[in-house]
Structure 1
Amino acid sequence: MLPSGEYWSRGLLGVLTAVVLLWALASGVGTALAASDTVTTELQPGWNLAGWTEDEASVETLFAAIPQLVVAYAWDADLQRYRLAYRDGETATGDLETLSPGIGLWLFLEGEETVAWERPLVLQAGLAELRRGWNLVTWAGDDGIATGVALAELEGILLETLGGDGSAPQTLEKGRPVWLRISSAKQWWQLTPPPRIEFRGDFTPAQMRERRAYVDDVVAFFVRRHGVAVPGLTVLFGDEEADMTCGGYAARTLFIRNPCITALPHEYSHAVQHHLAVRDAEGNWGGGRGEERIGPSWLSEGIANYAAAVYEDLIGIGSLEQWNADALDVGLANSNSLEAIETNMGVGGDAGANYHLASLVTGWIVENQGEAALYDFYDVRNEVFRWRSAFHEAFGMPIDQFYKRFEDHRASLAAQRPQVAGKVIGPGGEGQAGVRVEALPQGEGKAWRMNTDDTGAFSGVALEGTYRLSLFLGDTPCHLGWYGGEGYTTSRVAITVLDLPEDARTGIVIQLPRPASELCTTIRGALVDVEGNPYTEPPWVVAWPLHDQDGYTGKDGDGSGMFALDVRTGATFELSLHSYYVRECVVSPHPSLVPDPGAKARVSVGEQDATGIVITVTTGPRRIKEAVGCTAAR
């Protein structure tokens, strides 16, 4: 699943139309997952119509495979004319130089004997890049299928269909081309039904066309680049009520929120991973083998990140070079290990930084083992009961050894970067363990985190930009203050701003006025409905600070309607709920409530936890999740 964020999509259909030729660049990377089928065509002396169904190759490969071949023609749908190659001694001459999977060929054979031309049928041969006008396309699907059934996906744009003899064919033969006259460009995937597309909400016809074209394009990318397509998928656009960020994948369905159209390549990659790991011998969805977990979360998300980055680079809306640079910066600065995010990408409270770490290790895998290794793991996982065993087989080493090698690699890169380092101490000079030190950008820059060890020491790679150092207790949202003034401050105006890397410091000392654990307390309570029963939706409960601090405290209520919010001692907070259903929330009388002219529920906390707070909620029908400020009961 992608972390939240806005994704550019305006004018995407025009971009896809303009760059459709780029898929030739994306092919040939490695097709370990390609179909292993073969096709045989009987070639007669004289002229024959046959399809190239193999991987991309030079035209000399064709002449070498068929010694009787004298002349070959291929139709260029972009120029709406033929390209020619003819035998010239041991080589071939003409403007037909490269054979792409799925192109149709006119072949002239000399001699008097029939030639049985047997060749592989790769998955990419089933993807046709149709252009407006005439196209000579090889059929790669079921042999003998009725033409109307085979071409059903082209309804609305198919103007005319002709066979090699100039008449409309009743059936299609695998490996034989067919002439198609098309009214508009389309990427036609022949081998499995295309994803079913659903729209929820208000979409104009143009927006629906844009999204359908984008789905076609993403499917084509995975076929061209990785030799794989996922059958039986549903793509659901615009489910604004779904409990997700930008996109998600579950149960053979891709969920794409309306502003996040370009989340699709990331989520389709998850579908590829899932299908490869659980498919049956015929390539259909199966039940999987062994333990439920398919593989480590960092690998799943890293591969999905990489697929999206490559795709966006190809169509010109992103930069793979910049993606690698961002992954390197934030991945080096991330204090988490791969093992820490093996099952949970949210460890440490900064999923974005963990996604960058996953991207960094994925780029390292590609650099050392190639792209094919990424999805090969899931191919192996299909036959192995435990994902750790599959990892060992796919990558040639146990997971623990892989972790060590990557950490050594990351440490060697980090050693070449400027560092920020220091110590957090208590009032008596004792080191404060478990303090999270966040470097937050004041302007340009990428946030990163450091954590103090048992001695209170912290260190990390200094990323370029201007930063403030903000302190939190462990993994909680309880904000302790900042680095500034004499070393520690709770005033935003006294913050010390670091201009990095020039101002990288390694001797920072931040002395807290009290032990870190004593600077935080907890607001605890219960959510109930109007009848006094536990309210268990549960909503996101928020304590919004009325003082200077970074961030706020928010946490889901639990299944029994209870909530607990870690906050700074000696401060006041406004309570609110973020929910699909809540319309009103009222806090019952409590000693911690302070008067407010607007009747807002404001809780003042001292040295002890504020416990026993009761919030009564009034609900309505489900809607888009909204924030509802709570009031104090009169």
Structure 2
Amino acid sequence: MPPALERIDRGRALFLWLSGTRPVQWTRPASGEGMLLTLPAGASLVGWAGLDGTPVAEAVGRFGDALVAASWWDAETQSYARYAPGAAESALLNHGDALWVELSEERRWWQSGTARSRIVFGKRVADAQKAELRDEMEEVVAFFAERYGIEPPEFTLSVVPDVPLANASLRLIRLGEAIDMQSFLPYALVHEYFHILQFDWAPRSLNRSEPPFWLVEGAARFTEGLYDWLREGGAEDRIRSVWWGQSLSVDVPLSAVEERDPFLSFGAPAYALGALASDWLVRRAAAEAAGVAFDPHAPGGLGVGPAWDAHIDYYRLRPSSFSWQTAFQDAFGIGVAEFYEAFAVYRAELAAERMPHLADDVDAPALVFEGEVGPDVAARVRAQFDELQALLAERLGSGPADYTVFAAADVESAAAAHLRVSGREAPQEFCGLWSPRHFVLNLGCNTHPITLLARHHATHVRVRLAPADSLPPLSEQLCSRGPCWLTPATDRYVEAVSRAGVGVETLAQTRNRSIEAARGSGQPLHALETNAGHGAVGPEIAHALGFLAAEWLAERAGERSLFEYYRLLPASRSWEHAFRRAFGIAVADFYDAFAEYRAAGFTS
């Protein structure tokens, strides 16, 4: 005989055979709490602890490929009905209904219960947003429950107008009403919910903002990345590339951002660096647990589950550990000092692999070819690249520049390079994609490479000479570094000089084309100061007038004055002040002189 059933565990369903012909009433206490079940491979009879009216497809869909079969009791037919994946219609489950579930492997199953998370909404939150937010919050809770076996603590989610984005404290997540529901909300909830769990596991250490603060925020950002990967799919290295690319602005060792204030002084890049460090630690701990050698550069490795939860173990261990360093050693299997040394090597190796200019001591751009670039094309591009650097430095006084150019044979190899160094997908068609540290050049474009190389160099130098956080106050109607015509004007002139320098097109040819195009509009140059005015005349006319204006300034004050303006801008009272110092003429006087020059057919 089978052993007697003396106790019914929570979540277990019962199959009862009743004798006789009279109906039997059985009242059972119902709990509105959520429930985390661990179901073995094979068949299990379980009770549904979720909301009434939940489609069977939604309930069992969480098992993914592990689901072999599922059946539910049909009271009308007095038999079990088998679930058909992909069926147009799905039966509805009510709280307390029984399910037969057959799995190919052991899985956790989170049932959210009927007592949903407490959410407080501001007055301006629409009903549709409320429903979406509830659904997203439940998905996040289920992610942590099913992937890591973490049942949710009590907490409140509050959506209020006085929060810019999101933050968390003990048992409270606060979101701003203006949060982007589509692209930002899911990951903000993961990040802040992880903080809720940190507070729950180790409240005293977090309330004191105990170091290492890069792990406090980095572990949350790391988990956010796991959620992104599981939700969106794609290569695992995409997430790691995002972290690495964003972390480049942190130009100090990881140990320098242990404390809260130094960490926060670097802003978002420090969060990315913390995620990269957390990723390294979790992968190392998982490799050690599996008894295999740890290679930090091995592809993939964004696992989730018991073997990949060292970042969670740390906070569970912290309250009972003598110090955070002790908990660190126990959770990750490596001492703090040894880790800092190994992680510094890892960062340097990533830099050498992904951005060659960061791996040398030379303050000069590096050129790397991607894909099957023929030897003749490579030689021509290399020659133009080298000549461009000398031309801009010596003739235009652009100053030092330090970045990497990835010259790709076609759009496919260009897109692969862009994904590798930035973690972002490239558009379907593009000629060039840039950041202050790199430029991906698609050699398959019709545009001559020298034009794109010159434009990127000018942009890089401009950002280096006049960083965004160093600029004087500017009108909101202007562009970031002054009038909206001036930066494109500098670019057009740099491109023209570069094309002339390698024999593609003479300055006279560029000038004649620009004069012809400029005749298509009577708008004065000062009307192009604003974004609206610059856009109103169209790119062809705007670029033509810009080149002619830059040429006029270069002839009057010297070609080096074009970059001198940006060099002077950070220390100037205003862009007009920098303009006068660089070009030797007041803005109003320049506009008058250029109008006369234009009226005379662009002849002196």
Give yes or no for TM over 0.5: no
- TM-score of Structure 1 vs Structure 2, range by shorter chain: 0.3 to 0.5
What TM-score does the superposition give when structure 1 sets the normalisation length?
0.43
Indicate the structure with greater strand content.
1
Greater RCO structure (CA 8 Å; 6+ sep): 1
